[in-house]
Structure 1
Amino acid sequence: MADDFRTTQVGERYAQALFDLADETGALEAVRADLKSLRTAYGESADLRRLITSPVIAAEDQGRGLGAIAEKARFNGVTRNFLGLLAQNGRIRDLTAVIAAFETLYAKKTGVVAAEVVSALPLSATQLTHIRSALLKAVGKAPELTARVDPSLLGGLKVKVGSKLFDASLKTKLDQMKFALKRA
């Protein structure tokens, strides 16, 4: 699901518009928090993923669904209006790309280094602290960590910082061995 959050040209254009509006109105932090909440919910809810990505759900139904979520979560008005605009333009399916592009714009403006850590099991606070300090040494800045669980990894970690991915998951190692054995 993290792979769903890739930028696209459409996502970048919408993200730029949202970013500029949020920055001008002083709602940048609130909008960012709203988008982070949506990103987390997307990862945790199959229903939300279906709402956003299904080609059989009408754009206006997608808009109503996201509008209800935004209202219940008490999202900032800029975020709510933006989600309505995406729905109105039939672009809800681009929401993940918008979120990814928005994060890139935010990181450029603020100098924040975002890192996503994916593990097979939940990580303890101590483990996250060790990962954060290792990333601090590697990139020279304190990273803002997002941790999520993906049981399909079987073990190990995947760490993504910007466009760089460090994959030390057991699943990937097993896939590499399987590929090597097929070639032998």
Structure 2
Amino acid sequence: MGGPKLPEQERCDAILAAAYQIALTDGLDAVTARRVATAAGISPGLVFFHFQSKDGLLQALLAVLLDGTLDALTDPGLAALAPWDRLERMVRVELERLVEHHAGVELLFAFYFSRRDDLFRDPIEASFGRYLEAFLPVCREVAGAAGTPGGAAEAVSGDDLAATVVALIHGASIQAIRSPASVRSEALLATIRALRLPAA
């Protein structure tokens, strides 16, 4: 297939963009070198040249999906906020991203549930682990600032708070796929606020 010769990175980006659109429209099984090449306006040989195989192409596509996962959670501007405000901001931004990028979230779930081999599961599991780790410091700060030892009973620990926050966000991701308009950030934030101990 003819056409202008693109720099290598632009060609890779075009291939991945085409693969992404095909996967969104027709599912991961529809991502073939021929279809991707046609959509990207290049030859199938160039798809194989850059990604070696269908699995190589799908791995690269998965990496793109996972790449921006922690961006909002590691924003340097968050450091200036008090712990509870920082946690609320992080949760709010994540919920907004779920709604805005619900198609990509659905594709990530497709990878997780349809591509069960370690080639795909391991990077997803590692990303989930990093996601939880991104919430741990602020949740520990919130739990530490919320009460004093021996005070209000068995308070929620920072680790349990982080696990709960991440579980709520994961649940919201399913809701964002089913019905993006029904994801109500304020309701979920109110649930998280209910876990907060009274200030010391």
TM-score (norm 1): 0.25
| Greater Rg by CA | 2
**1 or 2, which has the higher helix percentage?**
2
TM-score (norm 2): 0.23
